[in-house]
A and B are shown apart, each in its own frame.
Chain A
Amino acid sequence: MMASFLQAIVSGLVTGSIYALMTVGMTLIYGTLRTLNMAHGSMVMVGGYVSWMLFDSLGWGPLAGLVAASLVAFLFGILIQQVAVRPLIGKLGVDFEMTAFISTFAVTIVLSNLALRIYGARNKAVPPVIHGRLHLIEGVSVSWHSLVMAGVAVTMLLALGAFLSKTRYGLGITAVAQQLDAARLMGIPDQRVYNLTMGVSSALAAIAGVLLASVFFVSPNAGDLPLLKALIVAIFGGLGSIRGTILSAYIIGLLEALISTYFGVRWSLPLLFVVIMVVMLIRPTGLLGKPEEARL
């Protein structure tokens, strides 16, 4: 009884870490660009395929995949920004958030069907970073790969935090998110900041994709479920709030693990959704989100 509870907590923490890694970029993009990036899930898929290709053609493990996938996704992020988001900024007579939502959704359609055309529908398998399980106490264990996942996720989140609060361009991202005019007056190049935000966020999603590729498989719709989970985490935490997102990722990871343990995996998503609907009734902008108007 106690063991199954502890097991749920352990897997909830692992899941929460990976959710945080997946969603933090989405929240960062929304905060800076007021764009809900529907192509974020596709970056998870791109990460998975990059890792698989390295493994399949060169025999390199997922650690090489992490580096390569983040570079590839960084470029993809800039491409999406230039093609699907930038042309919409400042268009009169249309709602920017709505058009950006749809244009990034269109990017997702193109990317996942492109993957289907290039790689086919067959699932691709990538081996874990380390095989085997760590037995914590009687009845509670965690795979080494999950520990690596959680470790990488937490490391990346800490690195992101340091980048945003200590470096010139990191502070620039937050500045653009908070007060665009003032940021431009400080000499912060907003377009470069947007590219950087999209690039970094996409790279984080791709890192999550590499890690998840060994747990699930890589397939053209490998980004769909991560997108859904990221959306749920993002609404729950409050769009634009990084702390809210990380908090929400762990809450949702734990909730999901507990619901799966006690009610069965099938109910984790529907029950989670009901919980979120109730939370939204009380706090329409999520845990730490702020009510604010569209800016661009």
Chain B
Amino acid sequence: MLEVRGLRASYGETPVLEGIDLSVGDGQFVAVIGPNGHGKTTLLRTLSGLLEPTTGEISFDGERIDGLRPDLISMRGLVHIPQGDLPFGDMTVEENLLLGAFPADAWRKRSERLERVFTLFPMLAERRTQRARTLSGGERRMLALGRGLMRDARMLMIDEPSLGLAPVLVNEVYGHIETIVASGVTLLLVEENFSHVQAFDAHVLLLESGRIVRQGSVAELLADEIVMTTYLGT
């Protein structure tokens, strides 16, 4: 579904991604693991069009999307749930969610989508008229996830869902991600900590200094001693 070839990107003069190849198949769960500051967030920002790649190809559903504006990429169903959640602070929880259904076809089904998200995250239903900036860190994360689920995403990209959350909340968030995976959505997830994705049947890529250094299934990586000691530091 998503094919990336030789992707390079930089912030100004500083190269961040130095040739990334990856592919995500229909219904697959791919996790990119790597330390902070090595290009995980940049990878997602480049895929969703917020950052223009310097070179390389990105194809989604067989069509080139590199260089497209982010709103056009989003309209094709590649939905990016960004780091820091980026809520619309002065708007209510409900308005935030409605904006997730911005594409015309999703907008027509917005009330039923809203109900679905509210069943998934009952906490958001309680806070529906509250302004987003008054939410706690965990609540904001749920809002960001919910906003991403308001439309028919062909593929979801989630940036570090565990970032800055207490362990209890991390478990809760991953509980929701499990539900999302179970529903068959294609998922590309970025995470610093390998242990969060260990329980999943995921294809894992290790990202270091802007390059993919190892990849394999969770089981393969767990069995690889070099990977476990050098990259995952266990």
A residues near B (Cβ < 8 Å) are 165, 168, 171-172, 174-175, 178-179, 181-190
Contact = CB atoms under 8 A, between A and B. Distances in A.
A175 B103 CA distance: 14
| For the complex of A and B, 7 pairs with smallest distance between CB atoms | A182-B86, A187-B74, A184-B70, A178-B88, A187-B75, A189-B71, A186-B102
A185 B98 contact: no
Contact of A187 (B71, B86, B89, B91): B71
A64 B77 CA distance: 44
A9 B223 CA distance: 81
B107 interface: yes
Contact of A178 (B91, B100, B103): B91
Given A181-B50, A185-B79, A172 B88 contact: no
A244 B110 CA distance: 31
Given A179-B87, A182-B82, A183-B88, 7 more contacts: A179-B86, A179-B88, A184-B50, A185-B48, A185-B74, A186-B71, A188-B71
B169 interface: no
Interface in B57-111: 69-72, 74-75, 79-80, 82, 86-91, 95, 98-100, 102-104, 107
B50 to A, nearest CB: 6
B147 interface: yes
A186 B107 contact: no
A40 to B, nearest CB: 23
6 contacts: A168-B102, A171-B95, A174-B88, A182-B82, A185-B48, A187-B75
B69 A178 contact: no
A182 B80 CA distance: 9
A174 B91 contact: yes
A172 B107 CA distance: 12
Interface of B: 48-50, 69-72, 74-75, 79-80, 82, 86-91, 95, 98-100, 102-104, 107, 147, 151
A73 B75 CA distance: 31
A181 B71 contact: no
Nearest to B92: A165
A143 to B, nearest CB: 39
B91 A175 contact: yes
Contacts of B90: 174, 178
Contacts of B107: 168
A174 B88 CA distance: 8
Contact of B50 (A171, A185, A186): A185
B38 to A, nearest CB: 21
A190 B91 contact: no
A172 B48 CA distance: 19
A186 B89 contact: no
A174 B90 CA distance: 9
In this complex, which of B75, B89, B91 has the most chain A Cβ atoms within 10 angstroms of its Cβ? B91
Contacts of A172: 99, 102
A80 to B, nearest CB: 22
Given A174-B88, A174-B91, A186-B147, A181 B82 contact: yes
A171 B97 CA distance: 11
B162 to A, nearest CB: 20
Contacts of A168: 102, 104, 107
Contacts of B75: 187
Contact of A179 (B48, B89, B100, B151): B89
A166 to B, nearest CB: 9
Nearest to B106: A187
Given A174-B88, A178-B88, A181-B50, A186 B99 contact: yes
